[in-house]
Structure formats: structure tokens, C-alpha cells
Chain A
Amino acid sequence: MATLELIVSEEVVAGPLVRSRRLGLLFWMAIGWMLFVFAVAILAPVLPLPSPTDMDMLERRAPVSALHWLGTDGLGRDELARLIYGARISLTVGLFAPVIGLAIGGALGILAGYFRGRFETLVVGSMDVLLAFPPLILALAVTAYLGQSILNLTCILGVLGIPAFMRVARAATLTLARREFVIAAQALGATHARILVRELLPNVMLPLLAFFLLGVAVTIVVEGALSFLGLGVPPPISSWGSMIGEGRESLEIAPQLAFIPAMALFLTVLSFNLVGDTLKALTDPRQSAL
């Protein structure tokens, strides 16, 4: 089932040595880009940037200049400042929503995989209900009722991520729960709580964290899509999605207004995908066994 549209990677064959070295460089470039975006987004208030919301009607869609490094948008707002402040929104939602999914979904998955029985049926069943809605459509509908705000957006996207994390955690727990160290702990008389927290959690955490990065990529895309449609963050706050949406109006005269945030979004999503995929390949027992 396509949960938050997460894609299962099917990379197995084809020269592991060549691949790992090739991915190595890209991997570090991706990490570098992520760090750069994070740094810029965090430092935004102290950087010498013009205000991202101040309009200047005389300087609409101005070209690149010393004052406006990336020019200005259709309302004369500084494009670079909007891009950087947009990164703050995209990253905030992109990071915190999967944290919700990771916490709730991960916990449910471990409990379901460990205790099995009715509880597992109930959890898996309710996740199936959540999965019965195409994710973007559910997100749209709920935002429409709740109203647009960053908090609402984060919560909705977080809830939508729960089933995916639940599945990963449950699958990992199911295999781990039969392993010797868990049986040994049980034989020593360890309590359920101790086994869950001390034995299972550290082992399940690894695949979950790799999956978390992929979740960040997906969330940034969904947030971008919602903002693009005008249903994400409320204006005048900019997010990459809303900037692309605004740039769409002036594709004929100023295509850069759509393409600059598009490029930033693409590179960021690609970086998270790359790093997540690499870590997943490292932590996936099926693949490391090969």
C-alpha cells in the first residue's frame, strides 16, 4: 500500500562495490546540501537579508542586482529572502511531521509486533482505514476544515505518516522478537517493558531513522503540493510550494520565479531521498545479508 507515497527501493543487484563508491560522493554532497539549507534556514534572522514580506511595487520582478541577489517577485519582495524564509517553513513542517509519525507509528508498530494477537489486528486494521484515503486528498480535506496554519499542517501530515512508520516498526519487530537475545531476555525474566525498551527499541530505531529521512522528503513534497494549491501555509508566509505556485502565474515573463524555488525543493528532496535510501540499504538486514 502506498502510505505517504513512500517508495520501496528495489536495488539489489549490480556490482555492490562500484555502487557504494559512486553513492559515496553523492551521499556526502547530499549531506552537504542538507547542512547548508539547515544552516541558512536557522541563521535567516541574523543574515543581512531584506524583509521577505516588504513589498516594493516599483521593483516588481526586478532582475538580479546587488540589492536583490535573486531579483524580486511579482509583488516586489526579495526572492532570496523569501527562498530562505520559505526553507524555514518547508523544513519545520518537513521535520516535525515525520517526528509525529515516527513517535506514534513507531510505538504502535513495536507494540503490535511484540504483543501480536487482538492488539495487532486492531492496529493494523485502523491503519488500513487511514490508508483507505489517498493521502493528499485526506490532507486537503482536513486542512479545509481545520484551517490553514503551520501547526495544523504539521499535525495532519504527521498523522498521515503514522501507518508507514507503523509498518516499518512492526516488520522489524516481528523478525527481531524471534531472535535469541530477546528469547534470552525473556528467559532471564525481563519484564515486557524492559524487553521493549532495552532490547527491541534500539534495534528497531535504526531502520526507523533511515525511513524517517525518506519521510522528510515525502512530507516536504506534500507540504509543497498543498502550499502550491494555496492550501498550505497561509500568506504572506512563504514556503517553497507557495512560491512555485505564485511563480506559475508569471511563467511567460519571469520563469525564474518558479524555477528558483523549484530547484531548491528538488535538491532538498533529492538529498533526503539519497541519504535515506543509502542508510536504508545499510540497515536493511535483507540487503546486508547479501
Chain B
Amino acid sequence: MLGFVARRLLYLVPVLVAVSLLTFLIASLLPGDLAYVILGDQATPDKVAALRHDMGLDQPIWWRYLGWLGHVLEGDFGRSFRTGQTVLQAVAERLPVSFELMLLAELAALAIGIPLAIACAVRSGSAFDRFMTGSAFGMLSVPAFLSAILLIYLFAVELRWLPATGYVPFSDDPLGNLRCFVLPALTLALGEWPVLMRVLRSDMISTLQEDYIAMARAKGLKPSRILLVHALKPSSLTLVTVTGINIGRLMGGTVIVESVFALPGIGRLLLGAIFTRDLIILQGVVLCVACGYVLMNFIVDMLYAVLDPRIRHGHA
């Protein structure tokens, strides 16, 4: 196990370096010189040249990359030239919101997906199963921004049960905070549950055909116990991986959902940086998100190896 972890960790290093390089190159090679952005269109060439010199933009690109990487490794991701906030401050301020959103969404998706998957697997091939697999397939074609609009229309405009936009900090009003997360989390969950359900359903169907399940039935165990204890755990391996993998989808989804529901999370920070051309924040946020994503995948890999010994011994 230790050897496996070490090997995976070692593999992370080149990936993370390449990620930082790519982030830097996107920000540096593409048009839109930082000096022009800061000084505006009316800047004289002299001023631009002076600022470029101050910021080190006139140095060769690999030198700038190394300098930037050095700062990043020291924990200095730069500072917004618009708000004066450092990237780390901005991210730390927004992260809890995005995290809460993703967590609630994933929980909601699991709460919808797992019972449905079990119900479908028990009666696989039945009308209920076919209806649910069909609906799940249909739901996969509904992008987050569509379900967001539908939910807002239904619950905020027609029924007026929940707020369409707005955010209340958890410390001010825990209930109000949860209330404003209901629709955003549900939006993301609507896109997630079909994936989880399909995966768990098919794994569960094959598990239910195993001999030990027949054995448990023959012993006279309660069907609910067989399903929830004997069948669910061995069937949930792929579910764990898919849940982890989907975090990438979810991160993309949070950008849309946070923008639609006006939640002050990482996604809004990113969009705001794009619209105000705050390139340093943009670069920092993209790097943070990508690194977080890589680490998350690493953790999922580890978790998977813990659950399934075949992986860490390379038999998969």
C-alpha cells in the first residue's frame, strides 16, 4: 500500500508542474498584455514600457515562469490589481461557499440516486426499472443551466417557496443559509443522480446474482438486510470512483449555478475576474482549482485502492 501511495504521489509532481506551466502559458502567451489591461487603452507606449519593466514583463518567458512558480511555492499567488486582495485571501473567502454547495449537491444526488438504483436493481427489467433508467437517460441531456431555470421558474416564480437568488452567511442565519442553498444544490444534484444511479444499478444487478446473495436468501435473512448490508457495499466501488470523478463536472457546474443563483463562491470569483479582466486573480483561481482537482482525483484513487485490493496490486 505504501509503495502504491508513493508511486501515485511521485506521478503527481510532473502533473502539477505541467498544470502550473499550462496555466502560466495560457495567461502569458495569449493576447491581452497585463500592462495594457492595468493602464487602459489610453496608455502611452512609454508608460506601458515602464510598467512592463516594473512588473518584469520584459524578461524572457521561462525566467518569468520560474519566478512566478517560486512565488507560488512560497504561497504567494499574486494580488489583484483591482481590489488589492491577494489571490489566496479571495479564494479562502469564497471556498466555503463552493464547498458547501458541492457537498450538499453530492449528498442530494446520492439521496436520490442510491434508493432509486436499489429499487431498480431489485426489479430489473420491470416497468419501473425501464421508466427510471429512461428518465435517468433523459436527465443526462438536461444541462445545469436548464435545470436551474426550470427550478427557479417552478419554486421561486410560480410557487414562491424559495428565494431565486441571494446568499445569507451560515453564521448569521443557519436556516436561511440552507434555504438559499436548496435550489442551487438541487440543480447540480439533478445532473448528478442519473450518473450515480446508472452506475450503482448495473453493479448492484450483477452483485445480486452472486452466490453469496443466494446463500443469504437461503439463510432466511430479511430482504432489506441483504440489500443494504450484503449487496450495497460490494456494489458501491464504482459509485465511489464516479462520485469522485464527477467533482470535475460539479466544479464546472458550480460556476453556472453560482452565477445563476448569485452565490459568492469560487465560480463567481472566476467569472468576475473574467469580466473585469483581472488576470492575476484569474490565473490564481484556475491554478488553485486545477491543483485542487488533481489532489481530489488522487484522494479518490487512494480511496478506491483501499476499497479494492486488486487495484493496489496492479491486477485491475
Q: Which residues of A contact B (CB under 8 A)?
A: 1-2, 5, 7, 9-15, 18, 22, 125-126, 128-130, 132-138, 140-142, 144-147, 217, 221, 224-225, 228-229, 231, 241, 244-245, 247-248, 251-252, 255, 258-259, 262, 265-266, 269-270, 273-274, 277
B108 contacts chain A at the CB level, 8 A cutoff = no
**Chain A hits for B297, CB < 8 A:** 1, 132
Q: Known contacts A12-B202, A146-B30: does B149 contact A134 (CB below 8 Å)?
A: no
* CB–CB B290/A133 < 8 A: yes
9 nearest interchain CB pairs?
A136-B252, A145-B30, A10-B202, A270-B141, A134-B251, A144-B274, A129-B18, A269-B141, A14-B125
Q: Which residues of B contact A (CB under 8 A)?
A: 14-15, 18-19, 22, 26-27, 30-32, 124-125, 129-130, 133, 137-138, 140-146, 149-150, 152-153, 157, 195, 198-199, 201-203, 205-206, 245-246, 248-249, 251-253, 255-256, 259-260, 270-271, 274, 277, 282, 286, 289-290, 293-294, 297
The listed residue with most A CB atoms (<10 A of its CB), out of B252, B270, B286, is B252
**12 other A-B residue contacts (CB within 8 Å) besides A129-B22, A137-B290:** A9-B198, A11-B198, A11-B202, A130-B22, A134-B293, A141-B270, A241-B145, A248-B152, A251-B153, A252-B157, A259-B153, A262-B146
> Which of B199, B205, B255, B290 contacts A140, CB < 8 Å?
B255
Report the minimum CB–CB distance from B239 to chain A (whole Å).
Answer: 11
A-B pairs with beta carbons under 8 Å apart, 20 shown:
A1-B297, A2-B246, A2-B248, A10-B202, A128-B15, A132-B293, A133-B290, A134-B251, A134-B293, A136-B252, A138-B286, A141-B286, A142-B26, A145-B26, A145-B31, A147-B31, A225-B252, A255-B157, A265-B146, A273-B137
**Chain B hits for A125, CB < 8 A:** 14-15, 18
Chain A contact residues: helix, strand, loop or mixed:
helix
* CB–CB A224/B149 < 8 A: no
* CB–CB B26/A141 < 8 A: yes
**Chain A hits for B286, CB < 8 A:** 133, 137-138, 141
A-B contact count (CB 8 A): 157
